[in-house]
Amino acid sequence: MDKRGGICSGGSGSSGETEVRKGPWTMEEDLILINYIANHGDGVWNTLAKSAGLKRTGKSCRLRWLNYLRPDVRRGNITPEEQLIIMELHAKWGNRWSKIAKHLPGRTDNEIKNFWRTRIQKYIKQTDVAATATSSVGSQSSEINDHAASTSAHNVFCAQDQAMDTYSPTTTSYQHTNMEFNYGNYSAPVAPVTTAATTADYPVPMTVDDQTGENYWGMDDIWSSMHLLNGN
DNA sequence: AATGACATCAACCGCCTAAAT
DNA sequence: CATTTAGGCGGTTGATGTCAT
């Protein structure tokens, strides 16, 4: 049941040393991956994973890099403009998240997908319920994930977008660590904004947990470590 | 203060496709 | 041409944080 944080014997399992780590990435793993890619570039992920000494699958490394560690990943709240683009492109293409993501620089397909599922789809559902309450048309499906639904939702959603209480540019509910940086021109990451942002604008960055030693760090921690490693 | 419900997001899984052999 | 392998994509899950009671 626990698909995270474990070590699984991989594939054949005959050797016993092809164990594969799963679950959340540790700071050390992130550092290794960032450092390796900074020096060797990305691609050929299986080889990369092995060469870097990571007990991860190539897929896992790729995902981690593309969705989280990549320098140009934009984190933080989706802007109203981005919402609009997502709505429009989804109406056009449906759940082609990677395709949609290409039109939103710095956004990942995973992020857009999550945004859609958690925010927009929920909102569509609400408006759908309201619509069916007032008309007898009836919803074709409670699983609202098709073009028509998003198209119809588009108008409603955009019209009421600014008033949508689940989204606010000033009171972001994203739990990401905001970061803006480049390899060559690193600027200090913005402090992470949590769902508690309404009461605490910028909580202290995550740090390594005393007990587990895992998964409680901010990108600034990672990057300061990187700078230590690289001696700058 | 405890706890249950809900929301969010990172990460895994399975499938598909393209490239390599 | 058939098979294998790797990468990419979309769907789904589970951990965790927040809010409401």
From first to last of its 232 residues, chain A has per-residue pLDDT tens of: 333 345 544 333 333 445 788 889 999 999 999 999 988 888 789 889 988 988 899 999 999 998 899 888 887 788 888 888 988 888 888 888 888 888 888 899 899 988 988 877 766 666 666 666 555 433 333 333 344 445 554 544 444 443 333 333 222 232 333 333 333 332 333 333 333 333 223 223 333 333 333 333 455 555 566 566 555 5
**How many whole angstroms separate alpha carbon A188 and alpha carbon A179?**
8
Instruction: Report residue A23 CA to chain centroid gap.
Output: 15
Is residue A96's beta carbon less than 7 angstroms from any atom in nucleic acid strand C?
yes
Q: Are A199 and A206 in contact (CB under 8 A)?
A: no
**How many whole angstroms separate alpha carbon A16 and alpha carbon A55?**
13
Is residue A114's beta carbon less than 7 angstroms from any atom in nucleic acid strand B?
yes
Q: Which nucleotides of chain C does any protein CB come within 7 A of?
A: 5-19
Q: Which nucleotide is nearest to A61 (CA to C1')?
A: B11
- CATH H superfamily, domain A7-69: Homeodomain-like (1.10.10.60)
Q: Give, in Å, how far the C1' of B13 lies from the CA of A134.
A: 40
Is residue A46's beta carbon less than 7 angstroms from any atom in nucleic acid strand C?
yes
Is residue A59's beta carbon less than 7 angstroms from any atom in nucleic acid strand C?
yes
Instruction: Report residue A184 CA to chain centroid gap.
Output: 23
**How many whole angstroms separate alpha carbon A192 and alpha carbon A178?**
5
**How many whole angstroms separate alpha carbon A70 and alpha carbon A72?**
6
Type and span of the H or E element at A7: strand A7-9
**Side-chain-side CA neighbours of residue A177 (13 Å):** 23
Domain with CATH 1.10.10.60 in chain A: 7-69
Instruction: Report residue A106 CA to chain centroid gap.
Output: 11
